[in-house]
Amino acid sequence: MDIAIKKIELIEWVARLQDESLIQKIEALRKGSAKYIYEQRIPTTAQDVQAKLDRAEQDFDAGRVYPHEEIEARFRKKFDK
């Protein structure tokens, strides 16, 4: 079945849903997606960018930094299965 047809069927099904707990589960699934999380972290204004830069400088000054190798090892451990 074509992906466009599947998406339309899902949209129609969700539009008819009355079960609030199921709707909440679907919303949690959407908000848990990597794309959604990434999009929420992207600064949208110059003020947001400056705030992120300020936070990064504070983290660096406070020693809250990790070597690239350590981060890479964490991700390998988590995702290379």
This model's pTM is above 0.75? no
Pair (29, 50) in one structural domain: no
Q: Give the pLDDT band (50/70/90) at residue 81.
A: low
| pLDDT tens string 24-60 | 999 988 888 888 888 888 888 999 999 999 999 999 9
Q: In whole angstroms, what is the distance from residue 35 CA to residue 68 CA?
A: 23
Pair (38, 1) in one structural domain: yes
Per DSSP (E only), the strands in 1-81 are: none
Pair (49, 31) in one structural domain: no
Pair (35, 69) in one structural domain: no
Pair (19, 30) in one structural domain: yes
1, pLDDT greater than 80: no
**Total tally of structural domains belonging to the chain:** 2
